[in-house]
Structure 1
């Protein structure tokens, strides 16, 4: 009976780090870190409105495009995303977000509110990647406890962050509607482009539908006050009916299930 082979010695931390940073997944992680960093820079320098403030907005969306682009490329290589099927491509969350990021970078006016959903996504992606890929290589004494805390944090707050992200997307659309009605330059184009994005998200995301439902209930409650005229209430009822009717008739995403 042969004796068991000795376990291979662990690679030095430097070698493990070099291997890690050469992966596509690390580039994806770096994109999310950069998104968070330049978002902080953007809002910290918001009052100055200097050239670096404006440039940071560009860097935010370049980082977003890089991180989402890597996921799309990996999905395509794995065969889970087939580019010859336009409906399947447009139904993909990552495709929807990279398209709106490209529009915000190249076509639409600067909209600060639009940054917040990407910050939420990046924050939780960074925590998940750090816990799974970086933390095991650090060899900390309290590594397991820290990993458990990070795992619990993600489990408890990830869905809430998605809900907040959806709220910010709707708030961004509301802001665009107001600016378009005021004939601000570029906002009618933004209304069409971001409106299509919101329609995609409504059809695809349970969080977006939940946000709209809560908004509807809140408006119903406000308009139920006796001081509100019956005419305004009827306008709201008609508007709701028309939105639901045409929303159900014109589907941008056709798929069997509606899951996030």
Structure 2
């Protein structure tokens, strides 16, 4: 009997959410990050994103066109980032965006796939009849649906700002030899791609840049010149034209959409 990839996808998100919660609790209680739980978290991420990537871009091909298409896909970007975090020294903060996505995906999967198995949808009330009273499982499903839709934008903004904080964390970690020098380079490139594809990331970057401009405007001319030079270099590096795809969020990354 073959197993539905949809359920494997959901299992990956559930594994990621459960294990990352364990990592978060250990971090909060200053018990250190267990490499076992950390790798288990990203194993769930790799499982889910691999399925979504395969459905999104199809079977891998040895062609420049396929590689270009794959690298512009948001799910592939998150999959590759998951690969790096899996093999690198644990950075607990890096799990937060993935866990946020998984929370929404798991809730959506429960509402759309688990609850109907215990309480199949009943036919609507006939015209002129009073509205049908929802069963307890249906009420739970309705509450989940409203919560997911009501918190989507806030969650995406939270993820965008968290990813900027992760970059600062690995940049400082590289300077203090707490993580590889490769980490901030990869995260910077990832953020560059996100900036072109995600309105939430652009909003977060623009807000942080604006606050930095306002703060540095009161500093010495030397600091202002240095900041403007850094911004100029970043804008030049980020200036490569990349096709934006804002219309729909990624299936693996965006929480509202159910698995495909």
Normalised TM-score (structure 2): 0.80
Is 1:38–1:59's contact at 8 Å kept on the other side of the alignment?
yes
Q: Are 2:219 and 1:236 equivalent residues in the alignment?
A: no
Distance in 2 between residues matched to 1:218 and 1:101, nearest whole Å: 30
Displacement of 1:231 after TM fit?
A: 2.2
Is 1:76–1:83's contact at 8 Å kept on the other side of the alignment?
no
Alignment of 1:1-260 (within 5 A): 22-46=3-27, 47-49=30-32, 53-77=34-58, 84=63, 85-106=66-87, 108-139=88-119, 141-182=135-176, 184=177, 186-225=179-218, 228-248=219-239, 250-251=240-241, 254-255=242-243, 257-259=245-247, 260=249
Structure-2 change in CA distance of 1:83 and 1:65 (3 Å):
farther
Q: Partner of 1:10 in structure 2?
A: none
Once the two structures are superposed, residues 155-187 of structure 1 have per-residue CA deviations (whole angstroms, 9 ceiling, x without a partner) of: 1111211111121111111111112223x0542
Distance in 2 between residues matched to 1:214 and 1:27, nearest whole Å: 38
Distance in 1 between residues matched to 2:44 and 2:200, nearest whole Å: 24
Please, which runs of 5 or more residues in structure 1 have no aligned partner? 1-18
Displacement of 1:39 after TM fit?
A: 0.9
Is 1:42–1:54's contact at 8 Å kept on the other side of the alignment?
no
Distance in 1 between residues matched to 2:235 and 2:195, nearest whole Å: 12
Relative contact order: is structure 1 or structure 2 higher (C-alpha 8 Å, sep ≥ 6)? 2
Distance in 2 between residues matched to 1:123 and 1:257, nearest whole Å: 24
Secondary structure of the structure 2 residue equivalent to 1:109: coil
Query: Which is higher, the Rg of structure 1 or of structure 2?
Result: 1
Distance in 1 between residues matched to 2:9 and 2:62, nearest whole Å: 21
Distance in 2 between residues matched to 1:75 and 1:233, nearest whole Å: 45
Is 1:82–1:88's contact at 8 Å kept on the other side of the alignment?
no
Give the count of matched residue pairs. 230
Normalised TM-score (structure 1): 0.80
Is 2:173–2:179's contact at 8 Å kept on the other side of the alignment?
no
User: Pairwise CA RMSD of aligned residues?
Assistant: 2.3
Displacement of 1:247 after TM fit?
A: 1.3
Is 1:76–1:82's contact at 8 Å kept on the other side of the alignment?
no
Distance in 2 between residues matched to 1:257 and 1:122, nearest whole Å: 22
